[in-house]
Amino acid sequence: MSDKSSSNAMWGGRFASGPDAIMEAINASIDFDKRMARQDIEASRAHAAMLAKQGIITDSDAKAIREGLLTVLSEIENGTFKFSKALEDIHMNVESRLKEIIGEPAGRLHTGRSRNDQVANDFKMWVRDQLDAAIGGIDALTAALLDQAEAGADMVMPGFTHLQVAQPVTWGHHMLAYVEMFARDKSRMQDARKRMNECVLGAAALAGTSFPLDRDMTAEALGFDRPSANSLDSVSDRDFALEFLSAASICATHLSRFAEELVIWSTVQFKFVTLSDRFSTGSSIMPQKKNPDAAELIRAKVARINGSLVGLLTVMKGLPLAYSKDMQEDKEQVFDAADSLMLALAAMAGMVADMTPNKPELEIAAATGFSTATDLADWLVRALNMPFRDAHHVTGTLVKMAEDGNCDLPDLTLAQMQSVCPEITEAVFDVLGVHNSVNSRTSYGGTAPANVRAQIKRWREELG
């Protein structure tokens, strides 16, 4: 029997002839949804076990189905399975092959379900697996960031606003900023996973089924918390995919921001970090070049992931309940975004683990641009009880004096400072060095090395 006639047989007598090549091409999804083969087979095995337990099919048929499905999975995993576009999708491909293996009992597998609840459930299981993988990728990146933070807890560097030197911070504090970002990404993914963890099987086409299914049994077998509560919503919902894409987009944005910093920091103008050869490339014409290509490619991945989110939002925005064929366009975008996110997470974890901060250059840069001006203003408030706005004005005058003298604030003499504010004492110099500055920032969440070490300890305990 040809693929086309086999497809017609599975559809039944409604279609007397197969679709032409154009319809086959636009209707088929097997080229991409075959990635859900494992989830499809796992769900079908659970469904068959439940049907037998409920007396809807015999135990012998259920056993044949479950064992036959394992054979199909083995063929798919070892590359001997022949996928047919005429059979449209992974569900029909699996069922067709199952019938070739076990015969008539294969036709009983689809009792009490539809491709509508089947595909929604398979897709949800696939996205759930991807959330778990992404969480693991974030944990690996976080561990690399914590190692960098610990190694540079006392290392000073410039903190920026508007990409202008603002105040000194520690390298460890900067690394921990990204730990906080990626921890929120992990939390979003965990939250999305929890919310989506409802089993769709049993919703059937859109209205449920008259068969006495035990949906709780199927849900438990597949690791879901509960069955979904509304059959219409169950088959038409793709919120779980949208939430995954949303969380992925935010995470990719964080990766892109860090990638941008690495691109800037690795330039000869900054010289803040050296990236390893494993994550850099050379130039085909300029032998001196060492390009941060991995960081640049990570920076670009956010465009693909954001595009996937907007694409699926646009697909879903105009669909009435319940299922529409438009929803076949949900998977490729999610698959692509998942691949891009996992690659970006792995590449960033590798770059962070391998990169070397340039301590002397970082310290020199931290001391430029009058970075301790705020420390001076704060000292005037604390030591002289000066209103902050007045302290701000005095400090600004001293910055102008230093700028005119082509020096930094710590290079001014006490006499020069007292010419602006006679009450200033020698004690002011205790706060003007960059190390003094970061050591003084002990407020919770501040950059002081002691704070950095405490946060590292907290995060390591949390990660286990």
Which of 162, 210, 284, 443 does the annotation list as catalytic?
162
**Residue 23: strand pairing partners:** none
Residue 322 near residue 235 (C-beta atoms within 8 A): yes
Closest CA to 373 of 418, 414, 410: 410
Residue 198 sits at φ, ψ, to 5 deg, of: -125, 135
According to DSSP, the β-strands at 226-227 and 273-274 are unpaired
**Extended beta strands in 206-247, E state:** 226-227
Closest CA to 340 of 137, 181, 76, 39: 137
- CA atoms of 39 and 242, how far apart (whole Å): 19
- CA atoms of 243 and 453, how far apart (whole Å): 34
CA 167, 146, 143, 188 torsion: positive or negative? negative
Residue 193 sits at φ, ψ, to 5 deg, of: -60, -45
Residues with Cβ within 8 Å of 169's Cβ and at least 6 positions away in sequence, in order, are 156, 157, 158, 159, 366, 438, 441, 447
108: tokens are 């009983």
Closest CA to 214 of 223, 197, 232, 226: 226
Query: Could you check whether the bond before residue 322 is cis, i.e. omega within 30 degrees of 0?
Result: yes
Which of 5, 187, 283, 324 does the annotation list as catalytic?
283
- CA atoms of 50 and 28, how far apart (whole Å): 30
Residue 249 near residue 304 (C-beta atoms within 8 A): no
According to DSSP, the β-strands at 226-227 and 198-199 are parallel
Q: How far apart are the first and last CA of the chain?
A: 57
In 18-35, which positions are buried (b, 16+ CB within 10 angstroms) versus exposed (e)? bbeeeebeeebbbebbbb
Residue 37 DSSP class: H
- CA atoms of 387 and 394, how far apart (whole Å): 11
Catalytic site includes residue 283 = yes
Strand, coil or helix: what is 368? coil
Catalytic site includes residue 249 = no
Residue 267 near residue 358 (C-beta atoms within 8 A): no
Residues taking part in catalysis? 162, 283
